Structure 1
Amino acid sequence: MRAAIFQSRTGIDPAESAAALTQAIGEAAANGADMLFTPEMSNLLDRDRPRAAASLTDEARDPVLAAVRQAAAAARIWVHLGSLALAGERADGRLVNRAFVIDGTGAIRARYDKIHLFDVDLPTGESWRESAAYAPGEGTALVATPWGPLGLSICYDLRFPDLYRALSDAGATMLAVPAAFTVPTGQAHWHVLLRARAIEAGAFVVAAAQVGRHRDGRTTYGHSLVVDPWGEVLLDMGEAEGVACIDIDAGRIAEVRGRIPTLRHRRPIPTPVLAP
């Protein structure tokens, strides 16, 4: 499989995002990629909620999703659209953060709503309350691709290994982790967590990330990674925007799982009881 990763600096205008994604799809296809992976919030990154609300709609009417589906079909390439912010789908008025897998005909093969929401106060003074605007997802997603089963997750999910255990137990050989990591958390934890998830699952991890200073004032870490099942970093895009391609050898999965068969050795873990 030849994978392409789009490391972007998404702004506040979905029309600009749609144009950038369409261009990235064309570039990936021109470089022989089978599938393009894009970051979390590929349609819009805007913490000014009233301004963002004017640009958001539901899945059926979202112009970025429509543009990506059309471009994927034209280029005959699969796209993992890392996620879109979508509105108007919940009675409580909260948004959803939804990933899509789109095949080479433009059909949607899978959807995944981010389960774990980022509510933290960082030592730098940054404060994030994702749950104030977004509703958590309630289900996992594993999708068949021509290159093996792909398990879906989004950004903060990375810190919860039970999700990846469930996906690998169900057969995932690739794990997608699109993200918009902050710089402090990225510097501290991004590489080590992605390598750990790859090693634990005996699977490839593809993590397309946002990068740089965005129009809404935030700064994201970048360093989109592809990690093999042994934990080796095959691709690190650093702080550069653009598209990069990498060849993934599916035979590596059986090799690594044969050397260290942890998936076969997994056992149910009883709930611990505190000894007096």
Structure 2
Amino acid sequence: MVFKVAAIQMCSGVDAAANAEAMDRLVREAAGHGATYIQTPEMTGAMQRDRVALRAMLKGEHDDLIVRRASALAATLGIHLHVGSTAIGLGEGKIANRGFLFGPDGSKICHYDKIHMFDVDLDNGESFRESSAYSAGDTAVMADLPFGKLGFAICYDVRFPDLFRRQAMAGAELMSVPAAFTQQTGEAHWEILLRARAIENGMFVIAAAQGGRHEDGRTTYGHSMIIDPWGKILGEAGGEGEAIVLAEIDTTVVSTTRAKIPNLKNGRAFTLAELPRASGDFAA
């Protein structure tokens, strides 16, 4: 099936209402270009590194401004709208980094909680402890939609290929990777990771990203991308600011690509042989 998709690049600030307005404007523009599946980036609702301020603005899923606005937008425009993620209060101080997919009638099809937490110390002095604020998800999600089977990942999940492989083996033809990649890691790894996940699984990858200098002081890499199963970049945004990346997708390309390189079928179970430690004495 041939259809048009859009990856929305944003530079979300700390004000959820302003971010909701930006999302609304960009989604309407993308739909005006014919996109019927539209994806926004990770943390569409707010980029807020101050944990106290973040918790103060949290709402439950049914009261969240971004969730309500996205549901109404999907219904108004008759599209599948995928909010890459937003922070959702779970009660008792817990937070989910949660993505939402809404159908053309505005109903929620599913949600996905980011599984892998970004807990890293970069050599440029930046340090992140996502697990200090967010509760990790424990369930992979795949939606069977009229235009194809869509798998879900968020940002740091892209570094864990088994998440993608298991969904590909279950029939996923498209994979979503909304993100807020840091500038340093994005420059080094963003494109190559996305293309690798597309190539090794023979699937389309749609990755809407945050891009630019945010109000909370962070800088994200941008470069939202749509990639085909052969690893070709069908569309890419720049590194800073808002953008709409559009591409036509033909899901029959998935089956033809997987027929050419049938690695999903050719995989085999194996054991790992652990050899005894060598003595290191190679003297004659």
TM over 0.5: yes
- How much does 1:90 deviate? 4.5
Tell me whether 214-223 or 20-29 shows the greater mean CA deviation. 20-29
User: Which residue type is aligned with residue 263 of structure 1?
Assistant: L
- How much does 1:80 deviate? 1.1
Asked if 1:118 is matched to 2:118, the reply is: yes
- SS of 2:244's equivalent? strand
User: Which residue type is aligned with residue 72 of structure 2?
Assistant: Q
Alpha-carbon displacement from aligned partner over 1:51-75 (angstroms, at most 9, x marks no partner): 1222111101101100110011001
The 5-angstrom pairing of residues 99-178 of structure 1 reads 99-178=99-178
Number of the residue aligned with 1:69? 71
Separation in structure 2 between the aligned mates of residue 21 and residue 252 of structure 1, nearest angstrom: 30
- Does the 8 Å CA contact 2:224/2:245 hold for their aligned counterparts? no
Number of the residue aligned with 1:50? 52
The 5-angstrom pairing of residues 17-32 of structure 1 reads 17-32=19-34
Alpha-carbon displacement from aligned partner over 1:213-270 (angstroms, at most 9, x marks no partner): 0000000000001111011111111224122321112121122111111111122343
- Does the 8 Å CA contact 1:25/1:75 hold for their aligned counterparts? no
Number of the residue aligned with 1:227? 227
Number of the residue aligned with 1:41? 43
Number of the residue aligned with 1:247? 248
Separation in structure 2 between the aligned mates of residue 176 and residue 260 of structure 1, nearest angstrom: 22
Change (3 A) 1:269 1:143: farther
Q: Which stretches of structure 1, 4 residues or longer, exceed 3 Å deviation after superposition?
A: none
Separation in structure 2 between the aligned mates of residue 264 and residue 120 of structure 1, nearest angstrom: 35
Separation in structure 1 between the aligned mates of residue 126 and residue 270 of structure 2, nearest angstrom: 37
Separation in structure 2 between the aligned mates of residue 230 and residue 26 of structure 1, nearest angstrom: 30
Separation in structure 2 between the aligned mates of residue 269 and residue 30 of structure 1, nearest angstrom: 50
Q: 1:2 aligns with which of 1, 4, 15?
A: 4
Q: Which runs of 5+ in 2 are unaligned?
A: 277-284
- Does the 8 Å CA contact 1:25/1:72 hold for their aligned counterparts? no
- Identity of matched residues, %: 45
- SS of 2:38's equivalent? strand
- How much does 1:146 deviate? 1.4
User: Which residue type is aligned with residue 110 of structure 1?
Assistant: C
User: Which residue type is aligned with residue 253 of structure 1?
Assistant: V
Separation in structure 2 between the aligned mates of residue 202 and residue 39 of structure 1, nearest angstrom: 23
Tell me whether 59-68 or 48-57 shows the greater mean CA deviation. 48-57
Number of the residue aligned with 2:281? none
- Does the 8 Å CA contact 2:39/2:208 hold for their aligned counterparts? yes
TM-score between the two structures when normalised by the length of structure 1 = 0.96
Q: 2:14 aligns with which of 12, 15, 28?
A: 12
- SS of 2:71's equivalent? helix
Separation in structure 2 between the aligned mates of residue 268 and residue 19 of structure 1, nearest angstrom: 50
Separation in structure 2 between the aligned mates of residue 151 and residue 142 of structure 1, nearest angstrom: 4
Tell me whether 237-246 or 61-70 shows the greater mean CA deviation. 237-246
- SS of 1:248's equivalent? strand
Number of the residue aligned with 1:214? 214
User: Which residue type is aligned with residue 234 of structure 1?
Assistant: L
Q: Which runs of 5+ in 1 are unaligned?
A: none
- SS of 1:86's equivalent? strand
Number of the residue aligned with 2:259? 258
- Does the 8 Å CA contact 2:119/2:128 hold for their aligned counterparts? yes
User: Which residue type is aligned with residue 57 of structure 2?
Assistant: S
- How much does 1:202 deviate? 0.4
User: Which residue type is aligned with residue 257 of structure 2?
Assistant: V
User: Which residue type is aligned with residue 171 of structure 2?
Assistant: G
Separation in structure 2 between the aligned mates of residue 115 and residue 76 of structure 1, nearest angstrom: 30
Q: Which of structures 1 and 2 has the bigger CA Rg?
A: 2
- SS of 2:98's equivalent? strand
CA RMSD of aligned residues (A): 1.1
- SS of 2:167's equivalent? helix
- SS of 1:179's equivalent? coil
Separation in structure 1 between the aligned mates of residue 273 and residue 60 of structure 2, nearest angstrom: 45
- SS of 1:85's equivalent? strand
Separation in structure 1 between the aligned mates of residue 91 and residue 143 of structure 2, nearest angstrom: 25
Separation in structure 2 between the aligned mates of residue 211 and residue 261 of structure 1, nearest angstrom: 35
